[in-house]
Amino acid sequence: MNDTADDVLFPPLVPYRTGRLVVDTLHTLYWEECGNPNGMPVLFLHGGPGGGLSPNHRRFFDPAFYRIVLFDQRGAGQSTPLGEYRQNTTQLLVADIEQLRALLGIDQWLVFGGSWGSTLALAYGQAHPLACLGFILRGIFLGSRAEIDWFINGIQWFYPDAHQRFADFIPEDERGDLIHAYEKRLFSDDPAVYLPAARSWNRYEGSCSFLLLQDEQGEPDAESDRVSLGIGRLEAHYMLHDCFFSENQLLDGIDRIRHLPAVIVQGRYDVVCPPRAAHRLLAAWPQAQMRLIPDAGHAALEPGTVAALVAATEAFRLRRRFD
């Protein structure tokens, strides 16, 4: 019998410390620590942008060994204001991570990120390589225009039904430029305009994230609307600005982190962040290890992906134990 994600993850745990970090006049970040206060520090970077944390994110790491640090990025989860796109750039997120590291008194940490979290992990590592012990990266997204166009338009070749719903939300005369049509609605001041657009955006991504079909989402509630608003607004904001990168910036900066150990975990059938990006990253960084999961899409909690991620955190644990 095949293991489920819940079988592979470490048992549920609760934070031993939480806090709020004021990073500027607009944004305040929620952060938490779990596991061993004296353990090896590891930083978890969530996806999106705007995806926020879930309790399962704490469970990729052995809590007896790791000091697990998690936080909601600007505009996401329990950080405030929710869905705020002003004063929200990749460079500011990188600076926020450094503020958090200083606040917690951490010299170096392992950096773990999936999807947009992999993007932010690479950007952070290249800006602050001395703060990093290594990287575990899943579902690689390099922030290129080709990847953004694929998300908005290309996914229809594999999920035409999901893409049709995504497009049908927009009046027919605006469907030739979906991202700008969604922009007009997502950044409205009227909840009656921006919330339905955010729900449509989030449903589109969620419908394409698993290799095997998942149950349809139920009626929106307050929690799902929080997630939708963070993801819809911030993903659109970052995509409209090319993720605040120059073209090929993350590949061109690999020399700054080439010496650090890295594991790349990629679903073979990831349609949201196709394997081409992981292949390009590995070609630029052949010292990294690639784990291509033959029966997985994009989602972190598909069984094969979970097993590879936990194996990677365990490998880092054993490596540090015997260094």
Catalytic residues: 115, 270, 298
Q: Output the 3-class SS for the chain.
A: CCCCHHHHCCCCCCCCEEEEEECCCCCEEEEEEEECCCCEEEEEECCCCCCCCCHHHHHHCCCCCEEEEEECCCCCCCCECCCCCCCCCHHHHHHHHHHHHHHHCCCCEEEEEECHHHHHHHHHHHHCHHHEEEEEEECCCCCCHHHHHHHHCHHHHCCHHHHHHHHHCCCHHHHHHHHHHHHHHHCCCCHHHHHHHHHHHHHHHHHCCCCCCCCCCCCCCHHHHHHHHHHHHHHHHHHHCHHHCCCCHHHHCHHHCCCCCEEEEEECCCCCCCHHHHHHHHHHCCCCEEEEECCCCCCCCCHHHHHHHHHHHHHHHHHHHHC
| The two structure tokens encoding residue 82 | 């929710």
Contact 65, 131 (CB under 8 A): no
Give the whole-angstrom CA distance, residue 242 versus residue 318.
38
| The two structure tokens encoding residue 247 | 């073209």
Give the whole-angstrom CA distance, residue 268 versus residue 298.
9
